[in-house]
Structure 1
Amino acid sequence: MKKRFLIFCFFSLSFLFAQTALDFYTRGQQYQEDAAWMKAIEAYQEALNVNPSYAAAWFALSESTYALGEYALALQYAESAERFIRNDPALLNLKGFIYIGLGEIKKASDLFLQVVKSYPNDIDARFGLAELELFSGKKTAAERYYKETLARQGENKKALLSLAILSYDMGNIRASKDFIQTALRYHSGESEVHYFASYLAVQDGDLALAEKHAKNALHLQPKNAKTIRLLSLIHYSQKKYNEATENLDRLLSLDKLDSFSWYLKAKIAEKQHNTEGALVFYQRCLEINPEDEIARAAMEICITKATPIEDTRRKGWAAYHLKKAQEATRLYLSETARYHYKRALKINPLDTDTRLLYAGLLLQDGRAESYLSQLEFIQNEGAKSLALSDLIESYASLLRSSLSQKWKTNPIYLDKTRYRLSLFYLDEGVHILHPDSLAIASQMIKETAEMQGLMQVSTEDSSVASYAEAFQKAREKGTDLFAILSFEETEREVLGELTLYNAKTGTKIQTISVYRTGNDRFTQTIQKLVSQLTKALPLRGRIIARSGYTALIDLGKTEGIEKNMELSIVEKGRLSLDSASLRLLTQENNILGSISIEEVGEEMAEGRVSYTGFFDKIGVGDEVFIALPLEDTEGKNLSSNQNTTPVLIDLLRSIR
């Protein structure tokens, strides 16, 4: 009797544990349905704690981890599931999608093809092959796979939504609307279908329709954070700030650490001219997610535009960049360190300690003249100390034979602006992760370019409707060039693109495209766009002093000037850009002579001038340049290897 009772207890406990694992798994499935990935992961892990051999839980855990973009970990979980279920097409397809995320395209392709060979009608394998085509930039080939799927299953939700999004991206708006209407007809009870209908309506500029679909999606899934976020963005775009705030409070009730909500609250406060409120919200956002570069850039733009330069809080706001600069200095990353010191000084220009550290970096990089210039600037701004005076005296003595000392010219006050650029951006619809990111990126390009001193960049407070409007505004401003910025981001990637035009003729010159992933991707994208643009512009300088046959120009080692270089001298105001390239042109009779470089400093160079004709007309203010063959100055498209926009792939991956 006792033995029979023990056997009964054993089976009862086994049944209880099995049921408990199933309970956790069922709970995880519900969380997964609501796209609450972290809660789903926790539930599946609980199920596996009870039953480590639970194959379905391993599979679902891999799916949820994949949805968070943690591809390496998702692969581990998929391989754990494979110990219990082999050659399962769903698992093979999941591994294929994970391999795409890891960039292992060949492995992904092999798995999808293996599935299609064994199961010709497998839909997910065909979706995988479509994604591989997109990854290679072959949108038409991807479209074909989706249409083949639709031919097999005319009501397939994922195929219909994928074709709606892809058609819109390819510019076939009518087809996109047809596909989304078909999806709504067959799947009107699916929240996801209404969500994508809303998203596409936003991109099409129909905010009223977008709001209607978003509300329908929310009615079907009241706690879906993605849908609440989209509705808050729609209300923000409609300037319905109270409704947007209500949605954000709803998001925060689901997750108080949702940094997006605090970011958008800050943007709303800015729109309502509530600077103090905006700064509080930005800081809360950055406390939750310190590496949110776009939120940080938005806050810094707000600080520099709306707070007094003497505001004592600026020191604390600049501390992030100061720390980054010091870390980069320790790692001998001078360019990165210089960038962050300049950002810190942009936020808090009165900080003498930071400027001294920046000066020290210049000295460490072998730029003693620039170091002395910074010390003299600090002294001229009112800082007085015996130590500072002694330093200035010592380095002035050491550099007494330098060009800056010889000509009594402090390089820090040189105006090296050579080109004027108007920067515009088109209305690209709502940016899901960071609304107003185009305006932020535009301002950051302006500030980064002007840090280098070569360009004066003007930006707009809002988007332009078309290329024609951008061209007209650039001509009215009288700038040399104008550029149209395109920008998009996912959770892990950033793609920035500048298309450069001649502002007088409107002729397209070149396109610069930069793709970055990983840490600091936004900052690196901005820096690289500016760097590529700066390198593309032709060398151009001015005569800033003259004594007899010797002249001083405002170009030096920083600009790549070397001893024995020969530069042409042109009458002031007679040098212009070619209408179809980045070549500098002038009439032959405007060339006054040439200068042969004999000594080169960090920011200036000295040379012997020779004039053409009978009279010496060369004077201070005349321009110098290097005349290059046309083939060396023709615009070239400078792009990364990214063939397809990351947002498109991200959207298609999110369809379930």
Structure 2
Amino acid sequence: MKKSACKFILFVFLSLFAAVYAFAVPSGTYSALDYFSEAEQLRNRNDFLGATELYREALELNPKYGDAWYSLALCCYNLKNYDLALEYAGNAEKYSKNMDSVRNLQGMSLVCLGRLDEAEKIFSSILETSPNNIDARFGLAELDLLDGKISSAEFLYSEALKRDGTNRKALLSLALVSAEMGKTESAANYISQALESHSGSSEVHYLAAYLAAKSGNLREAELRARSAIQIQTDFDDAYALLSSILYTQGRYDEVLDICLFRIGRNRNLSDAWYLMGLSQKKKGDVEGALKSFETGLSLNPQDEVMRACFEQTVADNIPVEDSRRQGWASFHISKAREYAAKFDGPGERFEYQKALSVAPLDLSVRQNFADLLSREGLYELYLKQLDFISANSVPVVTQEDNVRRNENSPEVKKTAVQIRNEDSAEALKNLMAGNLSERWNVDPFYLDKTRWNIGLYFQKKNVRLIHADLEEIAVRAAGDIFSAVPSTSVDVLTEPIGGYSDAFRHARSSGRDYFIIISPEESERSFGLKAYIYSARTGTKTTEIDIYRTGNDCMARTLRRFRRSVLDILPIRGKIVSATNGTLLVDLGRSDGITAGSKFDVVRRGSIRTKDRGPGITYDEKNILGTFTAVTVNEELCSGEYKKRGFYDVMNAGDEVVLVELSENSGSSESVASSARPAADSSGEPVVQNSESNEDASSVKEALKIQPRESELVGLIRNII
């Protein structure tokens, strides 16, 4: 009996040991189907990284497992590895039975890779064989959104919903599209249906929070965002949205808590560092904000909005003598050298100007900028930079060989650069001894050349998914880029306006010529700017500008193009500085695109006004005092012959000249027109070709062709799982 009991106990023990061992070492017993089943569970919980590993394990055991290839491609798509998604979908196509799903995934991957024509062919071919396929309609709808055909996209999503009345992606996409079109009631209806049919989906609550915030219902938005987090505790996008909602409400301490929580889980979240810096700035902790921005930029150096915000914070709060400014300007110095290597003069100049705005006392940067001006033939500006460098240079004792020493003293006298600068300055002063500024005893750099007063305004969205305060940062950056334009005075209102009437009232009362309402948009890989330009005198629309750029430096390239587009509609106007014996001195020169033989109307001071509609200026015939023809043209000044109109000469210094006709030499090397000067005739048509007009071929193509546009809306719909 005892022996039987012992045998039974031993049998039970061995059975339990075998079971435990089987669970402890599953690799020998797991099949491809087992790995696939576990991976599916992880994918359904949005753990795409964990699922990817298990799908690969399944494919190691069965390389012809079509469903595993397809699911692995789905994970890569959701992780934004679109090349891999396309490759794995191709493998799935060899072995999978569900061909339409595989081909739809191929099409969506092609859309994300920018191969839109190939994607459209795939979706259209699917609908030819499967007219009720919903996913193909989703693909075609996204193509319409990229082309700006939002109504067509709405129709396709509606057709998809007719075929599946509770389809989550159809309901959420229609809610987002309706909100974008201003159909608030329809958007609320679709999101309510989605919440009713998919109440356990964190994604549905997340998008409900976004739409509530977009409509201004921040309380509802906060509740929905918290619901999304409760359903899926590792939903980082929901934490980011909640922090943006709280930031909009001014609850900065709570924002900081969430940002620290997100950073604690993943220190590489540059957007969390950005929002933390904004919140610290709002609380008055400038040093903390600068450190947060610096950390964020070290993680993502190409985040142009964060860099602009960082530099604006530096400009507002840090003394120009602060030694840290030189380090902060290093990014722009590197970019300038990159542009120089590509022989892109306007880009190089822009980056050196940005570097000098951050570190104006950095003489090495100013030296590089001066050398650039010399290469561009702007010798008067070059001489001014040399004078500044000489006045601010500090002698440094060194043992280097590139210095001149007194043989009887170890004291350093001058470096090689100082010697070269002094020699260049002396030579230039000798060459310029007979120029107009010397002959007329006028320093052109002390003249007030302001001809145009422009106001910049913006309206603010309630919530931004990538960069909070984007509008304020973008409008300040747009204003800053005009700081190098001597003929324009740009006033930036850093508080949002309620609408067009507020902007018109403010601009008219401030005596502006034009006012511009700016609307920036961004995605992870693009930046766009819509600008509506109005006459501040009449309130009528002058023109509108729509610019979109993708890739690196997309914000900087957009802003440069915006400046050029504005200057292209501003007529070239000058002022009479002095007059003697029928000869006039005018404050226009080669930098403005003027060459000998250019003709102007001389107009009574204060009689020029903007046109009632469209670009350009107008003035009464009775206010034309005569004509002026440029004969001698320097960089910033020109002189020439004045012919009066009528019997009496009533022209005085301070009266204006308006370009009527450029000479035939305007395109020759004699002109060194700057990209930072007005370039239009009196009708507002550009007549001067400046240094930035010769963009590289790819930029010209990008500026002219109709491009597929990434946007916040497209990004949200694309991420719906």
TM-score (norm 2): 0.84
SS at match of 2:533: strand
User: How far 1:560 moved relative to its partner?
Assistant: 1.8
Distance across 2 between alignment mates of 1:375 and 1:24: 71
Q: 1: CA distance between counterparts of 2:387 and 2:250?
A: 49
- Bigger drift between 528-537 and 100-109 goes to 100-109
* In the alignment, structure 1 residue 335 sits paired with structure 2 residue 385: no
Deviation at 1:40, TM superposition (A): 5.4
Change (3 A) 1:596 1:208: same
Q: Which residue of 1 aligns with 2:102?
A: 91
Is the CA contact (8 Å cut-off) linking 1:514 and 1:640 kept in structure 2? no
2:487 is the alignment partner of 1:454: yes
Deviations 1:221-254 (A, max 9, x none): 1110110100010111111112111211221132
For 1:313, the aligned partner's letter is: R
1:375 lines up with 2:408 in the alignment: no
Q: What whole-Å deviation, never above 9, does each CA across 1:28-75 have from its counterpart, x for those lacking one?
A: 656655656566556655665665544444333433333354433432
Q: Structure 1 pair 28/347, CA: closer, same or farther in 2 (3 Å)?
A: farther
Deviation at 1:596, TM superposition (A): 0.3
Distance 1:409 1:643, change over 3 A: farther
Q: 2:310 aligns with which of 299, 319, 341?
A: 299
Does the residue aligned with 1:369 lie in a helix, a strand or coil?
helix
Q: 2:604 aligns with which of 571, 591, 606?
A: 571
Summarize the alignment of residues 288-367 of structure 1 with structure 2, pairs less than 5 Å apart.
288-367=299-378
Unaligned runs of 5+ in 1: 1-11
Shift in CA distance, 81/615, structure 1 to aligned 2, threshold 3 Å: same
Paired position in structure 2 for 1:626: 659
Q: In the alignment, is the contact (CA less than 8 A) between 1:513 and 1:639 conserved in 2?
A: no
| 1:3 equivalent in structure 2 | none
Match of 1:487 among 520, 523, 536: 520
Correspondence 1:531 to 2:542: no
* CA distance in 2: counterparts of 1:368 and 1:211, whole angstroms: 59
| Distance in 1 of aligned mates of 2:49 and 2:299 | 16
Instruction: Give yes or no for contact 1:135–1:643 (8 Å, CA) kept in 2.
Output: yes
SS state of the match for residue 545, structure 2? strand
Q: Tell me, in whole angstroms, the C-alpha distance in 1 between the residues paired with 2:716 and 2:111.
A: 15
| Structure 1 residue 647 corresponds to structure 2 residue 709 | no
Matched letter for residue 329 of structure 1? A
Deviations 1:432-479 (A, max 9, x none): 111011111100000001222332111222211111111111112111
2:568 aligned counterpart, secondary structure: helix
Q: Decide whether the 8 Å contact of 1:17 with 1:50 is kept in 2.
A: no
Q: Which residue of 2 aligns with 1:7?
A: none
Question: What amino acid maps onto 1:552 in structure 2?
Answer: L
- C-alpha contact (below 8 Å) 1:35/1:224 kept by paired residues: no
SS in 1 for 2:515: strand
Secondary structure of the residue aligned to 1:450 is: coil
Provide the rounded CA distance (Å) in 2 between the counterparts of 1:406 and 1:264. Answer: 57
Sort the Cα spacing of 1:162 and 1:321 in 2 relative to 1 into closer, same or farther, 3 A. Answer: same
Match of 1:5 in 2: none
Query: In 2, distance between residues paired with 1:253 and 1:322?
Result: 33
Q: Name 2:115's counterpart in structure 1.
A: 104
**Structure 2 CA distance for partners of 1:614 and 1:195, relative to 1, 3 Å:** same
Q: Does the aligned pair in 2 maintain the 1:494–1:516 contact within 8 Å?
A: yes
Change in Cα spacing, 1:612 to 1:140, as seen in structure 2 (3 Å) is same
The CA deviation at 1:616 is 2.4
2:95 alignment partner, SS class: coil
Distance 1:485-1:554 versus aligned 2 partners, 3 A rule: same
1:373–1:410: 8 Å Cα contact kept in structure 2?
A: no
Work out the CA distance in 2 between the residues paired with 1:589 and 1:71.
67
- Offset at residue 619 of structure 1 (A): 2.8
Residues 1:577 and 1:18: Cα distance change in structure 2 (over 3 Å): farther
Contact 1:511–1:639 (Cα < 8 Å) also in 2: no
1:512 to 545, 548, 557: 545
Counterpart-to-counterpart distance in 2, 1:41 and 1:70: 12
Q: In structure 2, what is the Cα distance between the partners aligned to 1:209 and 1:369?
A: 61
How far residue 90 of structure 1 moved from its aligned partner, in angstroms, is 0.9
| CA separation of 1:289 and 1:570: change in aligned 2, threshold 3 A | same
> Which amino acid is the alignment partner of residue 553 of structure 1?
V
What amino acid is aligned across from residue 509 of structure 1 in structure 2?
T
Could you say if the C-alpha distance between residues 364 and 67 of structure 1 is closer, same or farther in structure 2, counting changes exceeding 3 Å? Answer: farther
In the alignment, does 2:244 pair up with 1:233?
yes
Contact 1:396–1:405, Cα closer than 8 Å, also in 2: no
The equivalences for 1:141-290 within 5 A come to: 141-290=152-301
Distance 2:446 2:624 in 1: 28
Identity of aligned residues (%): 36
Q: C-alpha distance in 1, partners of 2:51/2:555?
A: 30
Question: Structure 2: which 5+ runs fail to align?
Answer: 1-22, 396-413, 661-680, 687-702
On the 8 A contact 1:322/1:341 being kept in 2, the answer is yes
Distance 1:549 1:379 in 2: 40
Comparing 552-561 with 171-180, greater Cα deviation is found at 552-561
Q: CA deviation at 1:78?
A: 2.3
* CA–CA separation in structure 2 for the residues paired with 1:426 and 1:42: 46
In structure 1, how many angstroms separate the alpha carbons of the residues matched to 2:439 and 2:85?
A: 65
Cα pair 2:572 2:682 within 8 Å, conserved = no
Alignment of 1:400-549 (within 5 A): 400-549=433-582
* Cα distance, 1:509 vs structure 2: 1.2
Q: One-letter code of the match for 2:570?
A: L
Secondary structure, counterpart of 1:602 in structure 2: coil
* Map of 2:630 onto structure 1: 597
**Structure 1 partner of 2:616:** 583
Code of the aligned partner of 1:655: I
1:363 maps to amino acid: S
- Partner SS for 1:624: strand
The structure that has the greater radius of gyration is 2
Q: C-alpha displacement at 1:625, in angstroms?
A: 0.8
Distance 2:610 2:81 in 1: 49
The structure-2 alpha-carbon separation of the partners of 1:166 and 1:316, relative to structure 1 and needing over 3 Å to count, comes to same
Q: What is the CA deviation profile of residues 340-378 of structure 1, one whole-angstrom value per residue up to 9, with x for unaligned ones?
A: 110111111112221111010111122223212322343
Work out whether 1:389 is the aligned partner of 2:384. Answer: no
Identify if the C-alpha distance between structure 1 residues 425 and 37 changes in structure 2 by more than 3 Å, giving closer, same or farther: farther
Does the 8 Å CA contact 1:486/1:497 hold for their aligned counterparts? Answer: yes
Quote the offset at 1:405 in angstroms.
4.3
1:494 is paired with a residue whose SS is strand
Q: Kindly provide the amino acid, as one letter, of the partner of residue 616 in structure 2.
A: R
| Alignment of 1:66 onto 2:71 | no
Change (3 A) 1:240 1:613: same
The answer (yes or no) to whether the contact 1:329–1:361 under 8 Å persists in 2 is no
* Corresponding residue pairs, total: 641
Aligned partner letter, 2:332: H
Deviates more, 1:388-397 or 1:149-158: 388-397
The answer to whether the Cα contact below 8 Å between 1:195 and 1:217 also exists between their aligned partners in 2 is yes
What's the offset of the Cα at 1:398? Answer: 2.8
Q: CA deviation at 1:18?
A: 8.0
Q: Deviations over 1:121-169 (max 9, x none)?
A: 2211111122222223222222111111211111111111111111111
Identify the range of structure 1 (611-620 vs 300-309) with the bigger mean alpha-carbon deviation.
611-620
Query: Which secondary structure state, in structure 2, belongs to the residue aligned with residue 536 of structure 1?
Result: coil
One-letter amino acid of the counterpart of residue 711, structure 2:
P
> How far did residue 23 of structure 1 move?
6.8
